Chain A
Amino acid sequence: MAASRHFPRTPFVLFVWVRFCVWRRQIRQLFESPAKLSLIVGVWLSLLVGVFALAYYGFQFVYDTAGLGPFLLSRLWFLFLFVIMILMATSHLASAFSTIVRTPETRWWITLPVSARTICRAKGFESTLYSAWAVVILLLPTCLAYVVVLKKPLWLVGWIIGVLLVPMLGIVTAFSTMVLLAWLRWARPLMIRREVAFVGLWIVSCLLFWLLGERQVERQQDVWFIALQELLPRMQVAMSMGWPSSWAATGIDAGMNGRWLEGSLYASLLWTTALLSWRILDHGAARWLFRVLRDVARPVDAASWASRPSSSPRLVPVWWMRRALFSSIAKDVLFVLRDPMQWSQGLLFFGLLGAYFGNLHRFGYAVAEPSWRIGIAALNCACTLLVFGSLAVRFIFPQMSLEGRALWLLRISPGGLSRQMVSKICLYGFLAVGIVDGLLLVSTGRLSIPSPIRLWLLGAGLISSLAIVGLSVGLGCLWIDPTAQDAARVVSSSNGAMALILMLAYVSCVVVGFVGFWLCWMHHSPTGLFGISLSLVGVSMFTGWVPMRLGLKRMERLE
């Protein structure tokens, strides 16, 4: 120990220093395994190239629309950024909850002489980084494709991301954190019946879709034109100038068209609002932090559950399942049910999808020709799998690591760790097939899809959701981290990022399969349809089976 060695003195710098030390070690560990590093880099590069290609051809398609291309492209940014903003705000709620409130680190920090402002600022930045890094990386190829399609200089990508999108994400995360703290501070009693909030949101969403929809009217116009006609009025919400996403979209449009004064003004507006939001979070919301952390202590949950014995579900063993496997599944079911973090996001996203699918008949797609309806159904299927895939990485992937300190018990039990893996596959596989195929049934029903196609989509949903479960559980076992106590940490680690990349890569393959299926249907090619079905089954079996086998081997080695 060198006596003269100086170390950071202010708590915020100390926090950054600790993170730097931890990340440096993790990166160094990654460099010690060149195969893993090259795989991660390779998959990320392919993902970025894939996003670029998808965005490039999409932008080019819209840009080539006669007379309307540039106008539609600029409007598309409003919609795109609006969706990103809503998704970020929602996902940041969960990220901030686990990073600020749930982590034992914060519980330790509040026993140290560190001000609430410092904790709030440090944890706010940390949760923002966790929620925004992947969004920024995926926005990079999208912006690049946009600039290339419009034949503008490449440095404009820096302008879009660095000057416009970063402050936009900053505003969203600051407000989201404030909403979370305000909710925990003032609406804590409502947390007792969390289900009410989610069901309420679901009903509101249904109402919104019902209001946005319109009565079915027969039209003999071009399908693409009808879609545009119907899309534009509905974009009024997304195009409201009250949203930071609209300021960013206007700034992008101004920058692309050389209106630098306007672009700079919107950039200033974004940065000023971002700084102001963080200032409010820093000064205002931080005042509630200690109170929130003291109130959201674990004994509260324990006591609330203790005082509600009737809420505990009765899980009765079934004759057709082995008792030991039943015990493992029952443990997992109770774990999921009693931790709202495990099911709330799923309920929210699948609820929104369900509300949308349930109101599909009001959106005029039903009047369109069959191929268009089948395209929409395939798109819905891809969308459902994408949502399920990302939720699977967030919640199913860390399950085995979260067994943590209970691993000793599971390891010496007769069935061993491999039974835990089987139980997780059974439980999540059952849930996945129920949810995904349930949603697809609603979607295909509302779009009046012919029975053979409906069966094909349901089959594809079944195979893909099982493959996603296999991939998540398998990778979770393969890259198990028994020391982890927080799911967010498992997901944000390099292994978590890798799992997300592989998941996105698989879902991208499925989406490509759906596009191929749609094209084959339009061109009446049964051979093509057969080939695509076979490829989908092959890819899904490979994706689900290989990680499961590797995971099983890892479990056997652990035992």
Chain B
Amino acid sequence: MIKAAGLTKRFGALVALEDFSIEIAKGEIVALVGPNGAGKTTALHLLVGLLTPTAGEVYLGDFHVMRQALEAKRILGFLPDQPFLYEHLTVEETLQFVGGIYQLDPEIWSLQAQRLAILFGLADKMNRRVNQLSYGMKSRLVLIATLLHQPQILILDEPFFGLDPQTLHLMKQHLRECVAQGMTVFLSTHQLSVVEDLAHRIAFLSQGRLVGLGTLKEMTQRHGSACLEDLFFQLTGSSSG
């Protein structure tokens, strides 16, 4: 479902990402991990078409992310690291806006919005304005807005940051359900416990280069590491202090 081949991004003399290639199958969860400044956000932005690659190609489903941008975005759900919300809209109006953009049928929109709002505990806050929500509530709203149109591909940048254990649990459970129904998930995170718990495969990024890709079992066996944390330090060259 997601195919990136030879993705490279340079900002002047700075090489943010070099020769990044990955293929993710339908119904698979792949986690992208790496130290700060490794190029994770750049990689995700290239995958969703927020940045133009210096070299390389990206396909989401059967669609080229640059040449068939609209078709690619219709099957994509993207959660950026710093999501945008209209502060003066209510929760319901925000979801109506997203539903309208994805041209959802009002009946389907209503069912979906209601289901997700109940699941993420926002059902009683539908008429509350976004600027009256707490940080956690805003994060939940952004998640609902990303999942509202039931995307085939979900790309998430630090989706678990700032979530309480209950929401984190709900989020993991919901992602597993979605993946069981055929959704493809590619996410970047620093929370290694979530990666261990959720990801089918793990991609390690260090200084703009993909330094490892595979299942946790394969990778720990190949590199002789005891756990994911050791593997992380080994592959990314970071010190455990």
Residues in A101-115 with C-beta less than 8 Å from chain B: 104-105, 107-108, 110-115
Query: Which stretch (A193-201, A295-303, A441-449, A514-522) binds chain B?
Result: A295-303
- The answer to whether B73 touches A111, judged by C-beta atoms less than 8 angstroms apart, is yes
Pick from B14, B69, B129: contact of A290, CB below 8 A.
B69
| A235 is an interface residue with CB less than 8 A from chain B | no
> What CA separation (Å) do A94 and B27 show in the bound complex?
46
Taking a contact as CB atoms under 8 Å apart, the answer to whether B106 and A7 are in contact is yes
Closest partner residue, chain A, to B71 (CB atom):
A113
Q: Which of A9, A25, A291, A483 contacts B100 (CB 8 A)?
A: A9
- B69-125 at interface with A (beta carbon < 8 Å): 69-70, 73-74, 76, 78, 80, 82-84, 86-89, 92-93, 96-97, 99-103, 106-107, 109-111, 113-114, 117
Q: How far is the CA of A291 from the CA of B52 in the complex (A)?
A: 7
- Minimum CB–CB distance from A369 to chain B (whole Å) comes to 58
| Residue from the list A8, A21, A306 in contact with B14, Cβ < 8 A | A306
Query: Is B126 part of the binding interface, using a Cβ–Cβ cutoff of 8 Å?
Result: yes
CA–CA, A114 to B69, complex, Å?
9
A197 and B78 alpha carbons, distance in the complex (Å): 38
Q: A3-B110, A113-B101 are in contact. Are A299 and B50 (CB under 8 A)?
A: no
Q: Is A26 an interface residue (CB 8 A)?
A: yes
Number of interface residues of A (CB under 8 A): 40
Contact B106 A112 (CB under 8 A): no
The reply on B199 being an interface residue by CB < 8 A is: no
Task: Verify if A11 is at the interface (C-beta below 8 Å from B).
Answer: yes
Contact with B along A399-424 (1 / 0, CB 8 A): 00000000000000000000000000
The answer to the question of B220 belonging to the interface, with a C-beta cut-off of 8 Å to chain A, is: no
Residues of B within 8 A of A110 (CB): 49-50
CB atoms of A112 and B50 under 8 A apart:
no
Q: Which residues of B contact A304 (CB under 8 A)?
A: 11-12
Query: Provided the pairs A2-B110, A14-B97, A115-B70 are in contact, do residues A483 and B87 lie with their beta carbons within 8 angstroms?
Result: yes
Q: Which residues of B contact A3 (CB under 8 A)?
A: 106-107, 110-111
Which residues does chain B contribute within 8 Å of A17, judged by CB atoms? Answer: 97, 100
Are A113's CB and B106's CB within 8 A? no
Complex partner residue of A107 from B50, B113, B114, B129, CB under 8 angstroms: B50
Q: Is the CB of A5 within 8 A of B11?
A: no
Which A residues touch B226, using CB under 8 A? none
Which residues of the other chain, B, contact A431 by a CB distance below 8 angstroms? Answer: none
Known interface pairs A5-B106, A299-B16. Does A14 touch B51 (Cβ–Cβ under 8 Å)? no
Would A8 and B100 be within 8 Å (CB), given that A18-B89, A297-B51, A304-B11 are in contact?
Answer: yes
User: Given that A14-B97, A297-B51, A307-B12 are contacting pairs, would A9 and B92 also be in contact in the complex, using a CB cutoff of 8 Å?
Assistant: no
A108 in contact with B101 given A21-B93, A113-B73, A483-B131 (CB within 8 Å): no
Assuming the A-B contacts A8-B100, A108-B84, A111-B73, are A1 and B50 also in contact, with contact meaning beta carbons closer than 8 angstroms in the complex?
A: no
- Residues of chain B within 8 A of A112, CB atoms compared: 73, 101-102
- Residues in A whose Cβ lies below 8 Å from that of B69: 290
Q: Mark B20-53, 1 if CB is under 8 A from A, else 0.
A: 0000000000000000000000100100111110
Known: A21-B88, A113-B74. A303 touches B11 (CB 8 A): yes
A339 CA to B92 CA in the complex, in Å?
36
A112's closest neighbor in chain B, by CB? Answer: B101
State the CA gap A113–B109 with chains docked (Å).
Answer: 17
- Alpha-carbon distance A22/B87, docked complex (angstroms): 8
Within 8 A of B (CB), among A255-300: 290-291, 294-295, 297, 299-300
Evaluate whether A4 and B97 lie within 8 angstroms (CB atoms) in the complex, with A22-B88, A304-B12, A483-B131 already known. Answer: no
Is the Cβ of A11 less than 8 Å from the Cβ of B101?
yes
**Interface residue? A557 (CB, 8 A):** no
* Chain B proximity of A192: nearest CB distance (Å): 8
| Complex contacts, B80 vs chain A, CB 8 Å | 107-108, 111
Residues of A with C-beta under 8 A to B51: 294, 297, 299
A1-39 with Cβ < 8 A to chain B: 1-9, 11, 14, 17-18, 21-22, 25-26
Give, as a whole number of angstroms, the nearest-CB distance from A352 to chain B. 32
Query: How distant is the Cα of A18 from the Cα of B130 in the complex, in angstroms?
Result: 13
On whether the beta carbons of B14 and A307 are closer than 8 Å, the reply is yes
Identity of the chain A residue whose Cβ is nearest the Cβ of B95 in the assembled complex: A1
A296 CB to closest chain B CB (Å) equals 10
Is B12 in contact with A303, judged by CB distance below 8 angstroms?
Answer: yes
Q: In the complex, what distance in Å separates the CA atom of A300 from the CA atom of B86? A: 26
A71 CB, min distance to chain B CBs, angstroms: 51
Q: Which among B11, B70, B100, B126 is the interface contact of A302 at CB below 8 angstroms? A: B11
Cβ 8 A contact of B70, one of A104, A113, A300, A307: A113
Contact with B along A295-338 (1 / 0, CB 8 A): 10101101110110000000000000000000000000000000
Q: Is the CB of A1 within 8 A of B113?
A: yes
Which residues of B lie under 8 Å from residue A105 when comparing CB positions? 84, 86
Q: Is the CB of A111 within 8 A of B93?
A: no
Question: Whole-angstrom distance between the alpha carbons of A114 and B37 in the complex?
Answer: 30
Closest-CB distance, B177 to chain A (whole angstroms): 22
Q: Which residue of chain A has its CB nearest to the CB of B66?
A: A290
Q: Are B14 and A303 in contact, CB atoms less than 8 angstroms apart?
A: yes
- Chain B residues 173-194 with CB under 8 Å of chain A are none
User: Would you give 24 A-B contacts (Cβ < 8 Å), ordered by A?
Assistant: A1-B117, A3-B106, A4-B106, A5-B110, A7-B97, A9-B100, A9-B103, A11-B100, A18-B93, A21-B93, A25-B129, A108-B80, A108-B83, A108-B84, A111-B78, A114-B70, A290-B49, A294-B50, A294-B51, A297-B51, A302-B11, A303-B16, A307-B13, A483-B131
| Nearest 5 A/B pairs, CB to CB | A303-B11, A3-B110, A108-B84, A113-B73, A303-B14
Which A residues have a C-beta under 8 Å from some C-beta of B? 1-9, 11, 14, 17-18, 21-22, 25-26, 104-105, 107-108, 110-115, 290-291, 294-295, 297, 299-300, 302-304, 306-307, 483
B residues engaging A (CB < 8 A)?
Answer: 11-14, 16, 42, 45, 48-52, 69-70, 73-74, 76, 78, 80, 82-84, 86-89, 92-93, 96-97, 99-103, 106-107, 109-111, 113-114, 117, 126, 129, 131
18 other contacts beyond A104-B82, A483-B87, with CB at 8 A cut-off? Answer: A1-B92, A1-B110, A1-B126, A4-B106, A7-B97, A7-B109, A9-B103, A105-B84, A108-B80, A108-B83, A108-B84, A111-B48, A111-B78, A111-B80, A113-B70, A115-B70, A299-B11, A303-B11
